[in-house]
Structure 1
């Protein structure tokens, strides 16, 4: 705000957008929160709320998130889900009708996407648990803490990646149109 002659205050209006990002669980929330800190600075006119779903199937997460946030006012809404057990077409349609875009972590899950960001190959034979076992010991803290991802995934690494799911999430956080 700036002061005008005569003591009145002139308000500067800033376009403000809101985004809800819901990941499957605590790991997703931690990593997305880390990305939010890097790509959505305070004062940007873009606020982001990051939440964790209750786990379970993609269908359960979609149903719970829609129910929980049906009266919430967000400009954009995103669900970030694992691709090893993606939502069925009917579940995807239900989410889209409720105003949610869906990003699927590829390959397979968050950990698969992050290993790919680091330039590691993901074998078709590897399951999500094996990918977690590969990534988690390398993190700087517990995998449910945003700080755990800071050392391996600084801004330059996340800006340069070609992993489609991480790039898509970054664009949403930067408030770029997808």
Structure 2
């Protein structure tokens, strides 16, 4: 007697594209993806780096690079110290992107704030990087470097707006 072989059922996945400004953003977002979006969660997340430049360049490159790709949701994570213009934001929105600004200033500012450390208005992004990077458990472009300093419990308890929005997206929750 032959067994009938059934094809495995595949759950319908929701797809999410998250584009950060550079390699640091991609590494940290990937770290958060590993914590909040495990396999079988029903959400397929692609994390990309916009390779730096101005917010306008990152928006243009993202729109061009992922135009033909079918994603249910698209997010751009950009530095708040040099935010996109109103026209650039509108163009991103028309192309289906939500914009989350790393605050204060940049990714490192958001992460220092999550650690409970003050980020002063006069501090430039480079100064914030110099404060954070030596404390990471590896190179700042590697997702594992963020694991010790930013465990799930800390990321669940932070009230940093950018980290909250990113966490909600990775948990497949609607934007507030």
What is the root-mean-square deviation in Å for CA atoms of aligned residues? 1.3
Offset at 1:8?
A: 5.5
- Correspondence 1:133 to 2:159: no
Residue 70 of structure 1 is matched in structure 2 by 67
Residues 118, 9 of structure 1: alpha-carbon distance in 2 compared, 3 angstrom cutoff? same
Over 4 Å off, 4+ runs: none
- Deviation (angstroms), 1:10: 6.7
- Tell me how far apart the structure 1 counterparts of residues 10 and 17 of structure 2 sit (CA, whole Å): 22
1:47-58 to 2 correspondence within 5 Å?
Answer: 47-58=44-55
Deviations 1:30-71 (A, max 9, x none): 000000000000011110000000210000010011001110
Query: Please, which runs of 5 or more residues in structure 1 have no aligned partner?
Result: 1-5
Cross-structure match for 2:87: 90
Q: Counterpart of 1:31?
A: 28
Deviates more, 1:9-18 or 1:150-159: 9-18
Structure 2: unaligned runs, 5 residues or longer: none
Instruction: State the aligned residue count.
Output: 174
Supply the distance in 1 between the matched residues of 2:42 and 2:137 (Cα, whole angstroms): 31
